[in-house]
Amino acid sequence: MASPLQTLWQLVKPKLLCESPRPELRTVYINHLNFELPGPDGKPSIGQSEKYPNNSVSTARYNIITFLPLNLLEQISRLPNLYFLVACIIQLSTDTPVSEMASILPLAFVILVTMVKQGYEDLLRHLEDRKVNKTLVWVVRDGESQLISSEQLRVGDLVKVFRNECFPCDLLLLSSSQHSGECLVTTANLDGETNLKTFWAVEATKSLRNAGLLCSELLGKVVCEQPKPDLYSFAGVLQLVKPQAHSSIPLNASNVLLRGAVLRNTNFAYGLALYTGSETKVGLNSRGSRAKRSVVDTRLNSFMLVLIGLLLLLTCVLVAGNLLIARSDAISKAWFLPGEQLKRPNFQETLNALIIMHYIIPISMLVTIEVQKFFCSMFIDHDLEMFHRMSDDDPSNWAKANTSEIIEELGVVDHLFCDKTGTLTENIMTFRGCSINGVKYSLKGSSLLASHNSKQQLGPAQQEFLTHLALCHTARAERSGNSGRLVYHASSPDEKALLDGCRKLGVTFRGRTGNQLTVGVGGRSLDYQLLHVLEFDSDRRRMSVVVSDPMGVLWLITKGADTAMLPRCISGSTEVTVKHVADFCAEGLRVLVVGRKRLTQVDANQIAAQLQAASASLADREAKLTKAADSVEKDLQLLGCTAVEDQLQAGVPECISDLRRAGIRVWILTGDKVETAENISLAAGHVTLGMRRLRIVGCRTREAVDSALTIAEAAAASSGPGVADYCIVVEGDSLQMLTDWDNDRDLCRRFLRLADESPAVLCCRCTPLQKSRTVAAVKLAADDSGRWPLITCAIGDGANDVSMIKEAHVGVGLYGKEGRAAALNSDYCMGRFRYLRKLLLFHGHLFYYRLSMLVQYFFYKNVAFTLPQFFYALHNGFNLISLYDSFFLAAYNAFLTAMPILVYGVFEQHLPRSRLYREPRLYAVGKAVEPLSWRRFFAWMLAAFWHSGVCFYGNAAVFWLNDDIGRPGISGFGLSALGTLVVECLLIVVHTKLIMCSRFFHTIVVFSFLLSVLCYPLLAAFYNSMYTNIFDENHSFYWLFFELHRQPAAWLMLATVPLLALAPDLAIAIWRRGPLDEEEIVDDEDIVSESAGTTVALGAGGSRTVRTGNNSGGRGAARVAMATA
């Protein structure tokens, strides 16, 4: 994602460099020969009329010049760093009671650690960029092929790519080794689709298959749109002077080879460089999407504001006390005090108070959180239980965290929005049956069985139907290298299933040569001429081909969704086919309706003219093509329908059941018919047989939707309070109005309130936009009601799920059969739906708990460290002097307390893994207890006040009674000794507090505590033995550490004061754990007994309550103990 500075630079760059605005269209002269501007010799001039970027790739954020200033500027823009920078400036510009190094060193340490981390990551990006930029590519210049580095490519170059090589930039395909001009490509690096795709050279240039011909016989230009990120669209025209003059040849996405794609099964291909470098489609898509902000970040900022308020309050108390003391008679009559001590407090005193208390804000917390999230995300990347073998050496075998920024939100998901096809199902389609001319058939082996279970011989009608299926597609047939068997490569699993089914029944698609389609029927080989392809799109929900059969008869063949096809059919067995469609859907099968129309030559010419006019348009080409297709695909003859089975993935019912027990409300959003969706939902365990279906379907007006919703509300109310024995089924048109938050907020609120009480919601006939709007409506309704936090999660496997995945707080993508678009655009990706259980209920639960405790503990230890400064000021006449030596101020966060909490945040497991697996309800309990709630925050703050008060007054009392601390003959110890003992007691207390919160003592955890314990005496001894003025110009701390710890009383205080401070914590811990068995402990603060069907509901005002299905008394009832920090 671009930084704010980079975004600002992009805005001001055109004005600073006096760049003119870009034209709407770009003109690319082939081989840089501008025939419209001849040179002095009458030949075309060399050069492009526009300037384009070179082909170098740069994913790095900095270079050697900009790294230091930009990185520093970005880090200083973060609130805690800016806060400490201001403190450093104040200390450097004024006379403050503590050394400026006490603020400079921690700030420098945090900035240096972050700088090293970001610099290393950027260095890796530079190395990868260099590897790509130095790749050698072939270009055609001066009539021959030459090798140059990839970064030297320019727009207008003629590029030659060989088999199994990546395309170095976005190229217009001019010719290939195939005489037909076709080119086979895989785009796995772009969208993850591994099937072969066919691209086509321009008809006028496909015969130019060597460098000499391209240089001598090709002259012209391409006029096309400026670069856009859409991988599947392109609009342009080719204007040729030679080999023969053409006014404009329309170009589309099937003529353009994208950077990152790989040439397959084609020896070579020649192309014209259209877009280079950052302007390629893959370059435009590499830019980050909208940053997501986690609930922990939001609450952390709120906590920080509270501490800043506490800082200002304590500062005001110190300044006010200083003012009152200065005005008192005792001070004014103190003749022995110098005159400058009698002046009233001024702005300098206020600054001094701020400097003494400003350590209440933890400077190292943000960098610690970043490191903790990074290491936690590695648990997902290397989880063997989430490993799914799709193919050998495929990186998609492993689950992956694409981001670690919102990793804690996996532990607080309330709503799960789930796609069906490919997400709950395998997306491995099998042809199961069909309906032909009103007769229903099922496929058994290699035979069709009619509905009366008699074997049906293929008659003319059946063969004609299957032949139409074998023609209406965009798949490609290829012979397997070993067996010689035909293998179909299709972008849609449905098409492959239909072709495989047709082959079983004796109708075989044998392949395409140029525009000729070959189909084998009953031992005969039939050749059809393909005239036009109207490809599938999500708006029309159908696709068509125009073909000429061996007898010269022209046909339009169309297939698509039943709702998109049946209204366009004017003949055929419509009523019977509609019934068969419903029967197939009731079995959970996917249905496509097939129709055709016979065309005259006049019709064919008219279609060609419409498509040519739409293709030649550079403005709104896609909309015009859709409109042209709509005008063609009508008045069809209904032939029948097909039924394809998509098997349910293993483990889906168990996963959905556990998610529901965890208090997560599961919505299924699918484009299938209501009947198909309901049956899959039932098989997946999303709905149960005993649930009533509250349907809001078939509504086309707002009044109809309102009426259906009112009926559903009345039916839900009849179930009684707290009983949800129903599910909600909504159709796409109704869903459009029910989730229209901007225009009908009341209706949307009513629907979402009803859905919030239902354990299952099923949305059918959804478009990708409706999926995204549904997620957005739930988020907006939650924000509007003030509920905190209601986290949404969306999971899908296809490009049509990307908008939903991006809209949700947490997006999970599955490695799909149809591509990797969902995985590439998600926050987390994995191979199977069932892994969501491990991702949320185990990883998410632990991540949220760990980070919540880390945040609370950081604030606690800093408040506990800072408050003794305030207590000391209360007893020294509000004289703004630091209790601590500056060494402690500098080292406390950076060295003395950093390691244990970081390791705790990475490895802590407050519950055994077996319990988290066995009891999904613990996920609901984890959300309900809210470890980041204000109640817990103030409990931690109360503990900080108590611990700091005991550590200060416990030590100060001994000094007040005997400043020799039991060792006559040695000069009395002063302020430095008191501050040292207070810090040492605090270190013992805060480390012990963290140990008391820990439940998992891994070797690394124990080592981190030992390292931290040893770190203090080593650093203190080293600093004490140095006669330096880095922190203390008076050298009051020199050798003090050694002298102080020669006193028995000092060791006695280190043993008794921390024990006294921790006594309430120990008593509460014993009280809470004593009466209960260990198995009943849910976490270190809340004890919840076994119960059936635990769920989480949002109470009034946004509070969370835990509802259990078993409310019997005794040990079976939920018991929640008093929570303290």
Examine residue 1075 and say whether the peptide bond preceding it is cis (omega within 30 degrees of 0).
no
CA nearest 399: which of 790, 842, 801, 910? 842
Instruction: Give the separation between CA 996 and CA 657, rounded to whole angstroms.
Output: 35
Instruction: Give the separation between CA 1086 and CA 1080, rounded to whole angstroms.
Output: 10
Burial class (CB in 10 A: 0-12, 13-18, 19+), 700: exposed
CA dihedral 589, 766, 611, 488 (to 10 degrees): -40
The answer to whether residues 462 and 418 belong to one domain is no
CA nearest 465: which of 325, 298, 652, 641? 641
Residue 45 has a pLDDT of 65
Burial class (CB in 10 A: 0-12, 13-18, 19+), 1122: exposed
The residue written with tokens 């001429």 in the block is 529
Instruction: Give the separation between CA 290 and CA 808, rounded to whole angstroms.
Output: 11
Residue 395 has a pLDDT of 54
pLDDT digit string, tens, across residues 1013-1063: 888 888 777 777 765 555 555 445 656 777 777 888 888 888 999 999 999
The answer to whether residues 857 and 825 belong to one domain is no
Mean pLDDT in runs of 10 for the chain (1125 residues)? 51 54 82 76 64 82 85 79 78 69 75 82 81 89 85 91 91 89 78 70 87 86 86 85 78 88 88 90 64 72 85 85 67 47 58 78 81 87 81 64 83 89 81 90 84 70 91 84 77 84 91 87 88 80 90 92 88 90 83 92 87 74 81 90 87 90 89 77 82 84 88 83 79 86 85 87 84 88 70 84 86 76 81 90 90 91 91 79 80 84 89 84 80 87 93 85 47 71 92 89 85 83 67 57 78 90 88 47 37 32 36 30 29
Q: Would residue 746 show up in a list of annotated catalytic residues for this protein?
A: no
400, 381 in Cβ contact below 8 A?
Answer: yes
Picking from 646, 670, 687, the residue at the C-terminal end of a domain is 646
Domain of 824, in residue numbers: 410-423+650-833
Instruction: Give the separation between CA 281 and CA 191, rounded to whole angstroms.
Output: 12
387, 611 in Cβ contact below 8 A?
Answer: no
The answer to whether residues 619 and 680 belong to one domain is no
Fill in the amino acid letter for 579: K
762, 782 in Cβ contact below 8 A?
Answer: no
Q: Is residue 843 part of a domain?
A: no
243, 206 in Cβ contact below 8 A?
Answer: no
Q: Is residue 135 part of a domain?
A: no
CA nearest 1054: which of 940, 996, 977? 977
Across the chain, which distance is largest between two alpha carbons, in Å?
A: 123
The answer to whether residues 859 and 744 belong to one domain is no
The answer to whether residues 588 and 664 belong to one domain is no
Structure token pair of residue 185: 């490509």
Residue 336 has a pLDDT of 41
521, 507 in Cβ contact below 8 A?
Answer: yes
What is the domain-level CATH number for residue 801? 3.40.50.1000
Name the DSSP letter for residue 559: E
Task: Please state whether beta strands 810-814 and 256-257 pair in parallel, antiparallel, or not at all (unpaired).
Answer: unpaired
Residue 860 has a pLDDT of 93
The answer to whether residues 583 and 690 belong to one domain is no
What is the domain-level CATH number for residue 552? 3.40.1110.10
Give the chain's domain count. 4
Residue 891 has a pLDDT of 81
Instruction: Give the separation between CA 68 and CA 28, rounded to whole angstroms.
Output: 39
The answer to whether residues 565 and 658 belong to one domain is no
What is the domain-level CATH number for residue 35? 2.70.150.10
Structure token pair of residue 792: 């949404």
User: Rounded to 5 degrees, what angle do the CA atoms 287, 293, 294 make?
Assistant: 135
Bind-site residues for Mg(2+): 419, 421, 797, 801
Q: Is 329 helix (H, G, I), strand (E, B) or coil?
A: helix
Q: Is residue 988 part of a domain?
A: yes
CA nearest 361: which of 947, 859, 854, 864? 859
Q: Quick one: the chain helix, strand, coil %, rounded to 5?
A: 45, 20, 30
Fill in the amino acid letter for 1047: Q
Q: Is residue 136 part of a domain?
A: no
Q: Is residue 747 part of a domain?
A: yes
Q: Is residue 953 part of a domain?
A: yes
Bind-site residues for ATP: 419-421, 495, 536, 559, 590, 670-672, 765, 771, 800-801
Q: Cα–chain-centroid distance for residue 134?
A: 32
Picking from 251, 285, 319, the residue at the C-terminal end of a domain is 285
The answer to whether residues 568 and 456 belong to one domain is yes
Select which of 157, 419, 658, 1032 is catalytic. Answer: 419
The answer to whether residues 910 and 778 belong to one domain is no
Picking from 241, 265, 285, the residue at the C-terminal end of a domain is 285
Structure token pair of residue 269: 């291909």
Residue 1037 has a pLDDT of 61
Q: Is residue 817 part of a domain?
A: yes
Instruction: Give the separation between CA 918 and CA 662, rounded to whole angstroms.
Output: 11
615, 517 in Cβ contact below 8 A?
Answer: no
The answer to whether residues 640 and 658 belong to one domain is no
CA atoms within 13 A on the CB side of 966: 11
Instruction: Give the separation between CA 399 and CA 1110, rounded to whole angstroms.
Output: 37
Q: Is residue 302 part of a domain?
A: no
Contacts within 8 Å (CB) and 24+ apart, 180-183: 180/206, 180/513, 180/514, 181/206, 182/266, 182/514, 183/257, 183/263, 183/266, 183/269
Residue 1098 has a pLDDT of 30
Bind-site residues: 419-421, 495, 536, 559, 590, 670-672, 765, 771, 797, 800-801
Please tell me the pTM assigned to this model: 0.72
CA nearest 610: which of 534, 541, 516, 530? 534
The answer to whether residues 1024 and 966 belong to one domain is yes
pLDDT digit string, tens, across residues 962-1007: 644 444 433 356 677 888 889 899 999 999 999 988 888 888 888 8
The answer to whether residues 677 and 794 belong to one domain is yes
